[in-house]
């Protein structure tokens, strides 16, 4: 159920409606829009009686949301969600494309700083790096943990990059929330509902990667788990699905981008690194992602990928990152976007 | 690496080898077999120098395990693993088929007892029931939690059934370990590595369901995560993979059963309920599972499936459960198995 | 549309209805059942006006068939279709399981006869062998063509086996119809609509293998193409679908067997050889196929699979064929079936 | 095997090598390149003895091609293949993007002319339209056949568009070869090896659509079938593969574009209409296709899609086609391409 407030409704009137919803034993989710505020109602089994609600001051109408995802649905919020970061110009979902770059894993302070310097120079606003790594084998490198989080905090201070890193469970999620700017939930945890709920209770932006065999509806329901707890700063990310394909590690499903845009107000990024698993496919698919309307790119960059402890074959070189930025800068205007303000990538005419 | 002890090696000699391995900074996993004990070594990067090991008393040979899964591999342990339950005849992986039956969710004490009585009468040794439910929607019934665990503990006392139930995260896993007999890790958590490790530290049998798009190798690596922590009581379960299929909720991949048997010593069950999502396909696929060599069946049974809070359409009626038992009893001898001792299902000649 | 005749309707009354349908410009498909005859109507766009039809003598009712497949639907014909072979006891779809066995390709007269002798002794009623091979590579062995057809005709004469072999196009289909007993249309041609129509015009039984990514509906629509031309002797065959699986060449989708049985009257076989691509999985999956209700098995047998020109790794040895027959003989009664009359396979107690 | 000729080898020397290869009982495929000619050898089982070949005048070296596809491999021909059309500037695979547009089916002369006029005005060089339709149902509209071919021949005369249309079998292929400019082999016939060989014997460009579950290797082997018969004018086309996806009819696998470019010299187009099955996804995916390096686009356009006899929901309006052309014109230079000479699409700056 959704309560749509009148354009001129006052904050007090909105509060009264929220209080009334909570008084009924449900949860109220005020979602401010450009024209008017909508208030999502969750926690109800079946329909909420709308009679009294419709008579409260400031209420325009009460409508039913038919999709299984409510708060993530464009029916509930027409305007695109823009995730902003206090004290910075960085944003995800706005007019400017969001560029997140960095190594698969933080391997050392030196490695991390070397790469951070280059992706910052290349125009990234966000730095990614694994502190806690979900590895298929228990015997593989599992990440530097808290040490990696601290290194990335230094990188934020030094280069002004916002930090994106993955959490594996409730304990590491709290550490990530403390030290980083975006809490990433990986593809293999996309339906770890306990972790999603915990991410909803922490008030930091959450980046959810699509599961290897997740449908669009399941993808949005993962977002809904976070949002149902009151955290509306959710960013989606396509990273390839699993098919019979023999030419790439995963099949990057770019058509999910326009599909998400149709039904949801949440921003969606694309990860061409995991999406293909091959360095020589990253740039073509990054260009394609921008061309089809993605809100940004998350890409693995390593200054020495041949020595990387993980994901070396899909990490691009800093020079390739620079080339990629030059290419997407030219494509961005076709879809009404730009690279971040002040960044004009100087790539030679080729 | 694997240290194979001589047949006549003494417990003291085995202990000396384990101590030496731990002294080198690795982890020793003694795995007793019918003829001789093997000791798996994990925690090493690359090869362990085998010179000194081979000279220790009682050591027959030191061999390299080339597969990514080590402790789960049949190279390390030739004999089938049989998971036993103290104080009972119930076992999984032995000559007798293991039958696990019960409702998707524990909905009430009455519902649970009604179903438990019927599946016990029908020949099940294990009772399944959801206390913590991984639901796609945050607004769907999430299970009765601890109350459900307590109800199932009563069922164990009353009917002598061993209890199998799912945990969603580290907190619920500890509760499940306390109250139940088998800790289930669901398909959506098959690569929740934090949960797998925690299951490895708790000393209870673990049932791991295959992920919706998990390869055989990933499936066994999930088992390896548990085993690498020292818990070798792992049971695998096929429950259908996700494909383009339009005639079933999932595609039950029965050919994984002989494939697992070739490369691993762990028992493997089949879940024809989630595997098909359709009541009228459960019996045919249960028969097929036994026929292709599965170690048992886990099946959803409900006395009033039309009223079930979850998975009603795939839950069979108690009368169908009885029929199923009669059918698989006849098929079991073809694959050298039987139904549990003392149970002779009385089904009419049809 | 479907015209259901009264139980006591005369052949003349049936003919009058058919003539009337054809007179309207449509096609009439009389389908005799145990109780009464139904007459399918195809060729119409939208609904046929039923008024006059319902008033014809002998007509019980005129009903609409809502599924996209009409003649293949159980709505049109309740009784299972049994495909019979004149002058023999062999049948597909009846009480007795149909067993089709033989090499992937006919490589020589000696090879074919050696294998035929052994599968006949083992209890097969049908011999399979490739004359025209659909090979992924244009440079691979393409089959002996007409010579192979002639060899198989000799095998029919000598061993009394009915011959099943694949056609690749309209030209080879005519030769197959002339020399063999069952025209096989392979998985890669399941939507070769021109070939399906041609198979419908030739009056020989047609075995259609499920395409690698065919849905149940597409599978039945392939049968419908054949039937819409007036040939109702159609046999379906599951042979594995393509998934991400790493442990088998294809994923054998046994749950399609009960699904087909629900909606169609056509017989369905299972091919565990192509379905798994591994010799050591063939017997387990053949047992499973019978257990879940398949009407029979089509299996590759070779006396020297290590020297086979194609599909060696998935061909079983004659001794394995004999073992398989012994196993399925014991499972058959559980699903109300038997092996063919007079064949009692003598397999030792193991 | 591949014979690489010296740069200065004469036509006579090339002919001598070809004759020698044919004399050995193999087939010679001279493939002229910018620098030198290579001669592919097919028809051999195992390696050809290279001794005598290497000593023939003009031969630089004899090398083994290790991939299963030979003539389609970039190992055999470094330069991109450009398919040209006599008497026109139209080409596929060159600097200019190839744009193929038109309705799913030719429904009438009026419909075809109305659409052709608009796509010609919008900048297409090629007109597509179905004469023979591969329909899942035998009861669906099957195309106008020869009448449609004649209508498209008129369209070529009037608008200067080259004609692309599908053939379903050997008979219709001959008609298509006679009346059209490009013979299309549809996704469902990608492994109809009889049809591929026949297309190889006819000397017209062939457009092969990727099968619904075809791997990259199988896709290239389909091309190899055509090429092995001596027809090297092969164009590949990605049109979506079948997955579990719920948000699109197929999953458009754009990452196959850079993968094909790595291993083959053949041009590859993208079909965003069948690839998504949704009108509102066609433009985003067309942009993405150009951005990732495709050689062109094949797209369904209909002036009245709501009345189309087939594929209405995925056909774009002429105004959308014009918009698409304006968008890809801006993206093309980023990947070193342009729209065809003389066409400058006038789309507002938006």
Alpha helices by DSSP H, listed for A186-278, are 193-201, 216-228, 256-263, 272-276
Q: Are B88 and B240 in contact (CB under 8 A)?
A: no
| Chain B with chain C: Cβ pairs closer than 8 A | 130
The four Cα atoms A321, A324, A330, A336 give a dihedral, to 10 degrees, of -90
pLDDT of residue D51 exceeding 80, the answer is no
Please report the pLDDT score of residue D192 as a whole number: 97
Q: Which residues are paired to D300 by β-bridges?
A: D102
Q: What is the 3-state secondary structure (H, E, C) of B266-280?
A: CCEEECHHHHHCCHH
pLDDT tens track for B261-315: 999 999 999 999 999 999 999 999 999 999 999 999 999 999 999 888 888 889 9
Please report the pLDDT score of residue A311 as a whole number: 84
Please report the pLDDT score of residue A74 as a whole number: 94
First-to-last C-alpha distance (Å) of chain C: 54
Helix (H, G, I), strand (E, B) or coil at A221: helix
Q: Tell me the whole-structure pTM to 2 decimals.
A: 0.94
Please report the pLDDT score of residue C66 as a whole number: 82
Q: Test A218 with B136 for CB contact under 8 angstroms.
A: yes
Q: Is C246 on the interface with A (CB under 8 A)?
A: no
Retrieve residue B342's tokens. 């003392």
Q: Is A136 on the interface with C (CB under 8 A)?
A: no
Distance of CA A75 to the CA centre of its chain: 20
The DSSP H or E segment spanning A39 is: strand A37-42
Q: Are B106 and B302 in contact (CB under 8 A)?
A: no
Q: Are C226 and C258 in contact (CB under 8 A)?
A: no
Distance CA D111, CA D302 (A): 8
Would you say domain A83-335 falls under CATH 3.20.20.70?
yes
The mean pLDDT of B318-324, rounded to a whole number, is 97
Please report the pLDDT score of residue D156 as a whole number: 97
pLDDT tens track for C177-216: 999 999 999 999 999 999 999 999 998 999 999 999 999 9
Please report the pLDDT score of residue D259 as a whole number: 97
Q: What is the 3-state secondary structure (H, E, C) of chain C?
A: CEEEECCCCCHHHHHHHHHHHHHCCCEEEEEECCCCEEEEEECCCCCCCCHHHHHCCCEEEEECCCCCCCCCECCCCCCCCCEECCCCCCEECCCECEEEEECCECCCHHHHHHHHHHHHHHCCCEEECECCCCCCCCCCCCCCCHHHHHHHHHHHHHHCCEEEEEECCHHHHHHHHHHCCEEEECHHHCCCHHHHHHHHHCCCCEEEECCCCCCHHHHHHHHHHHHHCCCCCEEEEECCECCCCCCCCCECCCCHHHHHHHHECCCEEECHHHHHCCHHHHHHHHHHHHHCCCCEEEEEECCCHHHCCCCHHHCECHHHHHHHHHHHHHHHHHHCCECCCCCCCCCCCC
Q: Are A290 and A332 in contact (CB under 8 A)?
A: yes
Retrieve residue D38's tokens. 């290579």
Retrieve residue C164's tokens. 């099943």
Task: Lowest mean pLDDT of B61-70, B92-101, D98-107, name the range.
Answer: B61-70
Q: Is D139 on the interface with B (CB under 8 A)?
A: no
User: What distance in Å separates residue C344's CA from the closest CA in chain D?
Assistant: 41
Q: Is C293 on the interface with B (CB under 8 A)?
A: yes
Distance CA C111, CA C147 (A): 13
Distance CA A98, CA A123 (A): 10
| CB-CB neighbors (< 8 A) of D276 in chain A | 255
pLDDT of residue A247 exceeding 50, the answer is yes
Q: Pick the closest to residue D186 from D137, D224, D222, D155 (CA basis).
A: D222
DSSP-derived pairing of the beta strands B296-300 and B98-102:
parallel
pLDDT tens track for B208-230: 999 999 999 999 999 999 999 99
Distance CA B338, CA B331 (A): 9
Q: What share of chain A is helix, strand, coil (3-state, %, to 5)?
A: 35, 20, 45
Q: Test D191 with C228 for CB contact under 8 angstroms.
A: no
Q: Are B279 and B316 in contact (CB under 8 A)?
A: yes
pLDDT tens track for A60-84: 989 888 889 999 999 999 999 999 9
Q: Which residues are paired to C5 by β-bridges?
A: C59
Retrieve residue A72's tokens. 């993530």
Please report the pLDDT score of residue D341 as a whole number: 65
Helix (H, G, I), strand (E, B) or coil at D206: strand
pLDDT tens track for D150-203: 999 999 999 999 999 999 999 999 999 999 999 999 999 999 999 999 999 998
Express as a percent the part of chain B with pLDDT over 90: 79
pLDDT tens track for D280-292: 999 999 999 999 9
Q: Is D245 on the interface with C (CB under 8 A)?
A: no
Q: Test B246 with C216 for CB contact under 8 angstroms.
A: yes
| CB-CB neighbors (< 8 A) of B192 in chain A | 168-169, 188-189, 192
List subunits contacting chain B, requiring 3 or more Cβ pairs under 8 Å.
Answer: A, C, D
User: What distance in Å separates residue C12's CA from the closest CA in chain B?
Assistant: 40
With 0-12 / 13-18 / 19 or more C-beta atoms within 10 angstroms meaning exposed / middle / buried, residue A66 is exposed
The mean pLDDT of D237-259, rounded to a whole number, is 96
The mean pLDDT of A114-133, rounded to a whole number, is 96
Helix (H, G, I), strand (E, B) or coil at B70: coil
The mean pLDDT of C323-346, rounded to a whole number, is 85
Q: What is the 3-state secondary structure (H, E, C) of A132-148?
A: CCCCCCCCCCCCCCHHH
The residues, ordered by sequence, that sit 6+ positions from A275 with a Cβ below 8 Å of its Cβ are A238, A239, A240, A248, A250, A252, A285, D255
Helix (H, G, I), strand (E, B) or coil at D82: coil
pLDDT bracket for residue B346 (50, 70, 90): very low
Distance CA C43, CA A204 (A): 62
pLDDT of residue C297 exceeding 90, the answer is yes
**Distance of CA D138 to CAs A98, A198, C191, C227, C285, Å?**
50, 54, 11, 10, 33
Distance CA C96, CA C270 (A): 15
Helix (H, G, I), strand (E, B) or coil at B298: strand
Torsions phi, psi for B97 (to 5 deg):
-65, 140
Q: Is B47 on the interface with A (CB under 8 A)?
A: no
The mean pLDDT of A215-228, rounded to a whole number, is 97
Please report the pLDDT score of residue D350 as a whole number: 35
ipTM higher than 0.85?
yes
| CB-CB neighbors (< 8 A) of D288 in chain A | 254, 288-289, 291-292
Q: Which residue has the tokens 């499973």?
A: C288
- Write the class of the CATH domain B2-63: alpha beta
| CB-CB neighbors (< 8 A) of D275 in chain A | 255
The residues, ordered by sequence, that sit 6+ positions from D55 with a Cβ below 8 Å of its Cβ are none
Residue boundaries of the structural domains of chain A: 2-63, 83-335
Distance CA D27, CA C132 (A): 22
At residue D319's C-alpha, the angle toward residues D318 and D322, to 5°, is 90
Please report the pLDDT score of residue C349 as a whole number: 35
Distance CA A335, CA A97 (A): 11
Q: Pick the closest to residue C228 from C44, C74, C3, C85 (CA basis).
A: C44
Q: Is C213 on the interface with D (CB under 8 A)?
A: yes
User: What distance in Å separates residue C184's CA from the closest CA in chain B?
Assistant: 24
First-to-last C-alpha distance (Å) of chain A: 54
Q: Which of C240, C244, C254, C337 best tests the B interface by mutation, with the highest count of B CBs <10 A?
A: C254
**Distance of CA D15 to CAs A229, D23, D56, Å?**
76, 12, 11
User: What distance in Å separates residue A240's CA from the closest CA in chain C?
Assistant: 13
Task: Lowest mean pLDDT of A75-79, B180-184, C34-38, D191-195, name the range.
Answer: C34-38
Retrieve residue A80's tokens. 């695109």
The mean pLDDT of D126-151, rounded to a whole number, is 94
The DSSP H or E segment spanning D174 is: helix D170-179
Please report the pLDDT score of residue B343 as a whole number: 54
The residues, ordered by sequence, that sit 6+ positions from B115 with a Cβ below 8 Å of its Cβ are B102, B103, B301, B302, B303, B318
Distance CA A268, CA A286 (A): 13
pLDDT of residue A347 exceeding 50, the answer is no
Q: How many helices (DSSP H) and strands (DSSP E) are in chain A?
A: 11, 14
Distance CA D344, CA B207 (A): 64
Helix (H, G, I), strand (E, B) or coil at B117: helix
pLDDT tens track for A134-191: 999 898 889 999 999 999 999 999 999 999 999 999 999 999 999 999 999 999 999 9
Q: Pick the closest to residue C136 from D69, D74, A247 (CA basis).
A: D69
Q: Which residue has the tokens 């890409």?
A: A299
Distance CA A335, CA B332 (A): 63
Distance CA D116, CA D103 (A): 9
Alpha helices by DSSP H, listed for B136-270, are 146-159, 170-179, 193-201, 216-228, 256-263
**Distance of CA B348 to CAs B281, B322, B330, D150, D211, Å?**
21, 11, 13, 70, 50
Distance CA C275, CA C212 (A): 10
Distance CA C183, CA B338 (A): 42
pLDDT bracket for residue D89 (50, 70, 90): confident
Torsions phi, psi for D2 (to 5 deg):
-140, 125
With 0-12 / 13-18 / 19 or more C-beta atoms within 10 angstroms meaning exposed / middle / buried, residue B25 is exposed
């Amino acid at each position: 159920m959704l309560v749509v407030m009148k354009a001129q409704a006052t904050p007090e009137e909105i509060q009264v409606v929220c209080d009334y919803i909570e008084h009924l034993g449900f949860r109220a989710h005020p979602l401010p829009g450009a024209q008017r505020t909508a208030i999502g109602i969750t926690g109800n089994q079946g329909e909420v009686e709308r009679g009294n609600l419709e008579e409260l001051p400031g209420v325009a109408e009460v409508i039913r949301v038919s999709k299984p995802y409510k708060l993530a649905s464009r029916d509930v919020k027409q305007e695109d969600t823009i995730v902003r970061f206090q004290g910075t110009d960085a944003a995800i979902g706005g007019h400017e494309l969001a560029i997140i770059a960095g190594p698969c894993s933080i391997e050392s302070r030196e490695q991390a700083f070397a790469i951070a310097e280059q992706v910052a120079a290349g125009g990234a606003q966000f730095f990614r790096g694994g502190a806690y790594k979900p590895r298929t084998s228990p015997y593989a490198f599992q990440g530097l943990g808290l040490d990696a989080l601290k290194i990335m905090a230094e990188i934020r201070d030094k280069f002004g990059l916002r930090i994106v890193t993955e959490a594996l469970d409730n304990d590491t999620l709290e550490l990530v929330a403390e030290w980083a700017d975006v809490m990433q939930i990986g593809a293999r945890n996309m339906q770890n509902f306990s972790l999603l709920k915990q991410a909803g209770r922490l008030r930091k932006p959450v980046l959810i990667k699509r599961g290897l065999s997740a449908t669009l509806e399941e993808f949005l329901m993962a977002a809904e788990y976070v949002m149902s707890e009151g955290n509306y700063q959710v960013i989606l990310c396509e990273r390839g699905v699993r098919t019979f394909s023999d030419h790439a590690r995963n099949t990057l499903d770019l058509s999910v981008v326009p599909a998400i845009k149709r039904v949801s107000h949440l921003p969606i990024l694309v990860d061409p690194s995991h999406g293909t698993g091959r360095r020589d496919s990253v740039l073509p698919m990054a260009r394609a992602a921008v061309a089809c309307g993605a809100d940004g790119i998350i890409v693995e960059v390593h200054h020495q990928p041949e020595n990387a402890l993980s994901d070396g074959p899909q990490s691009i070189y800093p020079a390739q990152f620079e080339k990629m930025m030059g290419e997407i800068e030219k494509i961005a205007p076709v879809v009404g976007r730009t690279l971040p303000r002040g960044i004009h990538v100087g790539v030679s005419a080729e």
